[in-house]
Amino acid sequence: MSTTFQLDTSTSRANPTPQPMKRLTVPRIRARKTDGVTEDPLVMLTAYTARQAQLLDAHCDLLLVGDSLGQVIYGLPSTIPVTMEMMANHGAAVVRGSYHSVVVIDMPFGSYEASREQAFDSAARLLKETGAAAVKLEGGAAMAPTVEFLNTRGIPVMGHVGLTPQAVNVLGGYAARGRSDAEADKIVSDAKALDEAGAFAIVVEGVVEPIAIAVTEAVSCPTIGIGASAKCDGQVLVTDDMLGMFERVPRFVKRYENIAEIIEKTVATYASEVRARSFPGEEQTYQPKG
């Protein structure tokens, strides 16, 4: 038995509840790719809150507490200003709201690049404060020694190559990567270096499709595509993008629903009823007894 947290939908509170341990593990995720083949593709989505995690959990293998919360939750212009405190707080909420998925937390910009020791301190803090299973960091061959350092000290690491949003100031924007031969070769070699260093999976973001396929074929660990290829070993999207919470989304996003429109219409109805004094009605008010 293991104590986890279940969100009570009647009270919106997360309550400790003894449950048998059923959560997926990092080794099980890694083992989904055998002899270069993943028969059952991995499903990953971003999650930032307990309730969101609860709704996504049963359908996903992994939940990513992405530093995309900088834009999605806080309205920041990029992921650069995201702090450790933000990641720790939202990571803990997602762990409380989930039971099945492996929860992975992005390491924010500036929390791991300076040294392997800095990366360990930051990663250890995130895992301790949240209960998550793994961290994700951006970068290729330059970060491979850090990945190996963390992995050999008990911290599973998910890599990230191709378009790396934390490097937007160096890259000069969010355009797809791998269009030149030199850049394509570097993306593949970066992925190989992370794989050899012990990364249990690698996100491949915003690359031309042949390069995503080449990376998937070149590494032994699963690849998770976003703006890459259906031939990757799994896929991830920012949940708010695929639900239609924003007017503009990257071209690689498929908008499965227009939740923003539903919310706007619902709020407009509420506002009109308040102004017409038709809400609250008798069913929503307390009347004298007797």
Q: Is 67 annotated as a binding residue?
A: yes
**Spatial CB neighbours of 262, under 8 Å, sequence gap ≥ 6:** none
CA distance 150 to 135: 10
Q: Is 106 annotated as a binding residue?
A: yes
Phi-psi region of 162 (alpha: psi -120 to 50; beta: other; left: phi over 0): left
SS3 of residue 210 by DSSP:
helix
Cβ–Cβ under 8 Å, residues 137 and 157: yes
CA distances from residue 252 to 71, 205, 227 in whole angstroms, order as listed: 18, 10, 5
**Of 148, 196, 205, 282, catalytic:** 205
Q: Give the closest residue to 47 by CA, choosing from 9, 110, 96, 84.
A: 96
Supply 250's token pair.
Answer: 């990257």
205 labelled catalytic = yes
Q: Is 138 annotated as a binding residue?
A: yes
Q: Is 185 annotated as a binding residue?
A: no
3-class SS string, 105-120: EECCCCCCCCCHHHHH
Q: Centre a 10 Å sphere on the Cβ of residue 253 and count the other Cβ atoms it contains.
A: 17
Amino acid identity at 216: T
Annotated binding residues, as ranges?
Answer: 67-68, 106, 136, 138
Annotated binding residues for Mg(2+), as ranges?
Answer: 67, 106, 138
Residues recognised as catalytic:
205
Annotated binding residues for 3-methyl-2-oxobutanoate, as ranges?
Answer: 67-68, 106, 136
